[in-house]
Chain A
């Protein structure tokens, strides 16, 4: 947890500095009324102070109360692979189309997670995809027809 706390405080401190740098370029206050940059700068300072407090508290944290965060085990790797797959799916979705890309994505995930026979996997994936397509596309009038395939 110590390592994670240091990373969290570092990321937030960098984030706050970026906000301050950007917000400083915004128009100034006018007749005592704060400009668009004032509130972001106040919040960024609050983030900096909190990040510093977290950093110091973590430094003082006894080694005995430190807990390890699992970021490398097999089960976590499965999460990373899923994230990667979803990024790929959302990137291809507008180009390929909803029904095709979602059926393929669902089939691959269900097959991977449940080891069901391919025919059952594909059947579940296609039926669920068509159900969502009809619900959103027909009942709720969300434009679901996009992409080069379907």
Chain B
């Protein structure tokens, strides 16, 4: 198998796609307003005609590159290219103010590489074991796993829990559309033949993540683009290397753990890593003044999320973040079902993804240290031209999946809905979690009851089921108990 994996990844075509993916990802990530999720959603249609391995690795390249690329504009323009780079601004821009933007970008590049590699190692070590465990799951366990995944919405929704739940439930509701998989009964189709096979979720995602973001960009379309500054001395100094090698692996592990939690993305990974570095530092007061730790921690943390997010996605079909959700769509288009069986039936693909992700991180390091000046030039691409082009890519991308204009309408509808949801401070990520986990929860719930002939005791019949039940209770009650404890301490 090792030979198969090596020969499938180390061929010119695959390495080319990874490099193209990373390059595209860095450009997308560097441009404020274009997120990693948007980038992966826009590139996804290009993979429909490809084989599974190059297609998935192209998308992973975009993902890894975009998460890193966000730091370029965060450091140079004080505007995060992607939300994942928001924490990098705190110290990164201070470097630029001192005229040391090259040094900051160098630290960011190497830290992103370290964090990414740590996450790939974790992906490599944890995923096969988790997949083995998941092979023992049957319908009740998968139902409870989906419920646990959905309960995460409660903890990631922050101040607007009810809005998060509403959005998650909206996603689940969309998954009901089409012929019921158990009884064959058509649900919510309203005599529309296009709805019989269900709501194609890729146009929904392109609408929610790419089109809505393009609409948001129009609000500032007539604001002049910021002037970028020149950079020099990108290669980190000896002292900076020491900081990166000390902080990078720790933040990489933190990012990986956060990535594993369904729904928690790179933004949270970066902020938690930054917080941890500050808390454990001997000089926490220096954070925010432009110190290397302030860049190394969030950058290793956000790239750490990339590998972590793929762990539940590949092993159980549960997305670690929004990009992982799109990757589920990409695998499904290729006729592959993410889950434990992927590890037994498509072993070469799985290990090619691991190896390809490792190469993607090396590409980030090489491109980041050698071509930063080129990526900085990308920042001068006017959004007045880029935004209409994104419109076209959204339209063509949603049309290409089924060569169906109905999907274009769906994409545009959800683009408009997503824009107004952002206006009303409703995060769209729970909708994606609901859209993917909803059918998993429903079908396994009903299958479990079929197995037990209607007895609900089947959901309490195995230790794994109990673990998921307890995890769900802790996730749901955790924030409330924490809040109560905080209030008690204050009073």
The residue from B392, B408, B442 contacting A106, defined by CB atoms under 8 A apart: B392
B454 touching A33 by the CB < 8 A rule?
yes
Number of A-B residue pairs at CB separation under 8 A: 163
Docked CA distance A142–B48 (Å): 9
Interface residues of A in 1-36 (CB under 8 A from B): 1, 4-5, 7-8, 12, 15, 19, 22-23, 26-27, 31-36
Docked CA distance A1–B453 (Å): 48
A-B contact pairs, 20 of them (CB 8 A): A31-B453, A32-B454, A33-B182, A33-B449, A43-B176, A46-B169, A47-B170, A54-B163, A87-B412, A90-B405, A105-B391, A106-B389, A109-B391, A110-B384, A113-B221, A113-B222, A128-B389, A128-B392, A140-B49, A142-B48
Residues from chain B with a CB closer than 8 A to the CB of A122 are none
Interface membership of chain A positions 128-139, coded 1 if the CB is closer than 8 angstroms to chain B and 0 otherwise: 110010011001
Residues from chain A with a CB closer than 8 A to the CB of B182 are 33, 36
A86 touching B173 by the CB < 8 A rule?
no
Smallest CB gap from A107: residue in B = B388
Interface residues of A in 85-137 (CB under 8 A from B): 86-87, 89-90, 93-94, 102, 105-106, 109-110, 113-114, 124, 128-129, 132, 135-136
Q: If A31-B454, A69-B424, A94-B405 touch, does A36 touch B46 (CB 8 Å cutoff)?
A: no
* Closest CB in chain A relative to B42 CB, distance in Å: 12
A39 touching B389 by the CB < 8 A rule?
no
Cβ of A143 within 8 Å of any chain B Cβ, yes or no, is yes
Q: Which of the four size classes fits the interface of chain A?
A: 35 or more
Cβ of A149 within 8 Å of any chain B Cβ, yes or no, is no
Interface membership of chain B positions 413-445, coded 1 if the CB is closer than 8 angstroms to chain A and 0 otherwise: 000100100011110000000000010011001
B49 touching A139 by the CB < 8 A rule?
yes
Residues from chain B with a CB closer than 8 A to the CB of A124 are 385
The residue from A36, A53, A90 contacting B162, defined by CB atoms under 8 A apart: A53
* Closest CB in chain A relative to B384 CB, distance in Å: 4
Residues from chain B with a CB closer than 8 A to the CB of A110 are 384-385, 388
Q: If A79-B419, A140-B400 touch, does A86 touch B185 (CB 8 Å cutoff)?
A: no
Residues from chain B with a CB closer than 8 A to the CB of A7 are 424
Docked CA distance A89–B412 (Å): 11
Smallest CB gap from B413: residue in A = A87
The interface stretch among B2-10, B212-220, B333-341 is B212-220
